[in-house]
Amino acid sequence: MTDRAEKTRNDWLATLAKFKADPDQAANERMWSPRLDGASRDEITAIQNEKLSVVTPFLYENSRFYRDRFDRLDLTPSDIASLDDLVKWPVVDKSEMTRDVEASPPYGHFTTMGEDIWQSRGWMLFSTSGTTGTPRIFRYSQIDREYWAWSNARAMHAMGFTPADTVFMMTGYGPHVWAWGVQMGLAKMGIGLLPGGGMDGAMRAGIVERFKPTVLCCTPSYALYLGRVMQDLGRDPATSSVTKLFCAGEPSMAIGPTREKLEDLWGARLVEFYGCTEAAPQAGGYACEATGGEDGYFLHLMEDLQVWETVDPETLETTAPGQRGLSVCTNLISESSPQLRFLVGDFTTLNHETCACGRSHARAMGCFQGRADDLINLRGIKFFPTQIEKAVRAIPGLGDEFQIVLTSRPADGMDIMKVVVEHSDHGPASKLTETVAAAVRAEIELRADIEVVAPGTLPKTEFKAKRVTDERANR
């Protein structure tokens, strides 16, 4: 490591530590850190500007990916020293990262850590889900994980988690940042945890019955599935000990029929995290206790730790205030993976007005829904799988799972879509086919073929459900 690289690293670590307020416990019942969570807009901007002025030289001196990109764009670190300068830096998308990894497997060059530092820090490997492309591998240092624990604790405190809760973590402990980050945050909060990996639905239903957790931590799909398992066992999820459903991995709060179905099934409040492995592995977005009130459903963004923007999906230029766009994150809370303007790529609208909960940080109104990578283009009509989910989950009596199958008709090559749903009245003669077809057509203005199959036919998953199969000839 050069002297310059070491100095910029030390400067960056000192800056991270400077802005880690209330690191060990909540300051009060409303906010973990009132100094940060309730900071004025001017104070938030000042923190972001100070961090940006320090992180850009750190990236230039310690990351080959970023040094090459600065040089290619004919920029120096001092050219991006404040929020106003960020527009000079074109967004970084997943394909750019993928090319870097493919050229230098398995990690690529965007990390700021050499092997000597990795060996001295201690680290853990994580991976993107791969639902929108080749999985990308990231290592995060022990320093990073300490910041995760702190920031996740701040977010879960905002959602109303207290030491009186017991959390049932129903995820397979694979290389997914959400589950591990939540576990670290719960430990910092002093909240009891029931690990539930490697169990089937009946075993987990038994854990709920026996140990009475107050929080279920899982994907929304799995929360629906477990509730049905409990019903099949003669138990009513709505009368269980569960008061909160803590979901991630798939949109849930943003989709009214899914949210209502979950909350009605369990008689519990739905809350969620939003983030990504690349640039927001901790709680980039999180629900506070005011979401669902008069401002509707939204997620807070922790702006002292990240800069959040929205960009136009076609031009990738910054959108005007209050205009819907794709999410972009600049990560200001990492030693090993700070990122400048990473295109996370979910649609939302940002609101910078102070929330009823007292937090001053930006809110993603309507939460995040419709990742750009998931957009389906069928015969010129563009739509998201979440729109199909909204249509089918609003129909009483259908099962909780569905599948979208895209194919090309052999006779003329026309692309067509089939939606597969579950119901006890199943088979080719099911009267439900026209009901489902009409609901889908009303949502996306396309007619779909409908197949109704027996309950329990479609697969259940613990992590992100794969609901789209694209078998088109010219995809």
More confident: 65 or 283: 65
Domain shared by 194 and 294, yes or no: yes
- Mark which of 346, 371, 396 sits at the end of a domain: 371
Bridge partners of 140, per DSSP, are: 124
Domain shared by 91 and 1, yes or no: yes
pLDDT for 9-32, tens place per residue? 999 999 999 999 999 999 999 999
Domain shared by 359 and 436, yes or no: no
Domain shared by 367 and 410, yes or no: no
Is residue 424 domain-resident? yes
Domain shared by 325 and 413, yes or no: no
Read out DSSP for 331-381? E-S-SS---SSEEEEEEEEEE-SPPTTS--S-EEEEEEEEEGGG-EEETTE
- Mean per-residue pLDDT over the chain, rounded: 91
Is residue 398 domain-resident? yes
Domain shared by 96 and 155, yes or no: yes
- Mark which of 345, 371, 397 sits at the end of a domain: 371
CATH of the domain at 232: 3.40.50.12780
Is residue 349 domain-resident? yes
- Give whichever of 130-144, 301-315, 391-405 has the largest mean pLDDT: 301-315
Is residue 475 domain-resident? no
Q: Which amino acid is at 193?
A: L
Domain shared by 266 and 393, yes or no: no
The parent domain of residue 337 ranges over 1-371
Q: pTM for the complete prediction?
A: 0.87
Quote the CA–CA distance of 313 and 346 in Å, as a whole number: 10
pLDDT for 304-334, tens place per residue? 999 999 999 889 999 998 899 999 999 999 9
Is residue 295 domain-resident? yes
Domain shared by 380 and 365, yes or no: no
Domain shared by 284 and 385, yes or no: no
Within its chain, how far is the Cα of 394 from the centroid? 24
Read out DSSP for 185-196? HHHHHT-EEEE-
Is residue 14 domain-resident? yes
In this structure, of 95-104, 153-162, 257-266, 317-326, the range with the lowest mean pLDDT score is: 95-104
CATH of the domain at 447: 3.30.300.30
Give the mean pLDDT of 40-46: 97
Domain shared by 253 and 338, yes or no: yes
Q: How confident is the model at residue 177 (pLDDT cuts 50, 70, 90)?
A: confident
Domain shared by 169 and 136, yes or no: yes
Residue pair 220/355 in contact (Cβ under 8 Å)? The answer is no
Domain shared by 417 and 329, yes or no: no
- Mark which of 338, 354, 371 sits at the end of a domain: 371
Number of domains in the chain: 2
Is residue 139 domain-resident? yes
Is residue 16 domain-resident? yes
Q: Which amino acid is at 25?
A: Q
